[in-house]
Structure 1
Amino acid sequence: MPVRKEASGRRSVQAEVEVPGSPEEVWEAIATGPGISSWFVPSEVEEREGGTTVSHFGPGSSMDAVAKITTWDPPRRFAAESPEAMGPGSATVGTEWIVEAQSGGTCVVRVVHSWFASTDDWDNQFEGHAHGWAAFFRILRLYLSHFRGRPSVAFQLMGAAPGPHAAAWDALVGPLGLAGAAEGQRVSTSAGAPPLAGVAERVGPSEFPELLLRLEEPAPGIAHLFALPMGGQIFLPIRVYLYGDQARDAAARAEPSWQAWMAERFPGPQAG
């Protein structure tokens, strides 16, 4: 997903996915706080032009992504701008979301990041964003296919391990009993690990380890495990999304046991 460069200095990168649902149903998932929180990160949206969007990528306000909505045209398109989105002194980044209805009861969702720059300083990071969207869009498609509109509760866990990449991944999925999972296979965690059971919807290649599960236990939901090299370490996030009337109680039981299990095996992200 290379960066597109125009003579005016505008640069952009985009990602897209085809998902089930009407434009109104898809809009609910990508343009409202509860909808976005059901497959992405905890978010709030003021649903109007001039409103604010906030996405919480971690604890504390320093991990928040804040943008101002510049276009609001439900259920087709909205756009927002984030000043210095990549850090102090960086360009303002515009993000556009587009929903296009297709035949057969599906829609294409497209996200476009654009900015103006005279150098390539930020290109690699934005190409990384596009790859990141591909992973989140797999979660979005799974959510809309199986859990659309249900109440949702999510939690995220984070560990970190030294490289190499493959060894860090094995240190996570091995003790969980999830090593060697195949797509379409029903899997469950080992004795001594927090209970997690479901069907493996995606198993990433060895160079980009990833496991996407459609859960039956601890409640209907989705789990996403992956390994991300950053700052000389391998970060090991686990995202769990639970759905339905029992989701909140199930999350309240599951999250503490997961936190304890991760803390015992991984020191957590360390300063680079």
Structure 2
Amino acid sequence: MNQPSVPLLGPVKIRELAAKLNIRPTKTLGQNFVHDAGTVRRIVRDAGVEAGDHVVEVGPGLGSLTLAILETGAIVSAIEIDPPLAQALPSTVAEVQPESAARIAVTNRDAMEVASVAYLALPPVLEATEDFVPKHLVANLPYNVAVPILLTLLQTLPTLETVTVMVQLEVADRLAAEPGSKTYGVPSVKAHWYADVWRGAKISRNVFWPVPNVDSALVHMRRHPEPVGVPRSDVFDVVDAAFAQRRKTLRQALSTWAGSAARAEEILRDAGVDPSLRGEKLTIDDFISIAQSFTKVS
């Protein structure tokens, strides 16, 4: 398939826009702007975005990835925390890709504050016809808040079917880690509550301006039905307790959560989990069983 000949943002245009808006990228907001058309098109292609799909984007910045999403014919509701960037994005799209202007809307807020789809801006193309029902989350996420943003939006936007995000390589490895690996931990387990998770392509630091000190990678998620019969909060409490002291056995690590080491062992044995194991060996299903057994043993 031939790549669309729709204009995107290159290095020169990125710097021009930043200068025009008096934007100086800050580490506080994790601002590293992608300037490589091949990279943003790859992200969108790997995400499986098609014409008419409703897509949430977090941290669109100057609009590089936004334009790549829009060129597929998708409809985008973006969340941008930086007021000047949020205000400028629709104008950038109208200038660079005018045929897509009616398919983009931006809300100026922290993604961690998005409590439901009602917090998202409605693109003009939908205003007279239908609601925005997000199918994909596609984003270049700030390194320091990538995990909490992902977990928040998976919880508050239940119609999301897929997630494709670019994050710091280390974060990508943690999210996609499997039980038994050194990188397996709280983010890995909680992500697996919502979805099947796997790591995608590694992304060079050189496609960003300014160039960060680390490489990035894509993380892909495909939502599966959430477990039933036990509240998510109960399971996440077990996960947090198990990894708060990850070098200790589960019998010891869960002693405070359970009330005592002896009761922790009783709960673990009822759940079919060896008390001498550490949390890094357990799957999400194991943690669910422990949470269920807590209620039974009580």
Higher RCO by CA contacts (8 Å cutoff, separation 6 or greater): 1
Name whichever structure is richer in helix by fraction. 2
Q: TM-score range by the shorter chain?
A: under 0.3
TM-score, normalised by the number of residues in structure 2 = 0.26
Name whichever structure is richer in strand by fraction. 1
TM-score, normalised by the number of residues in structure 1 = 0.28
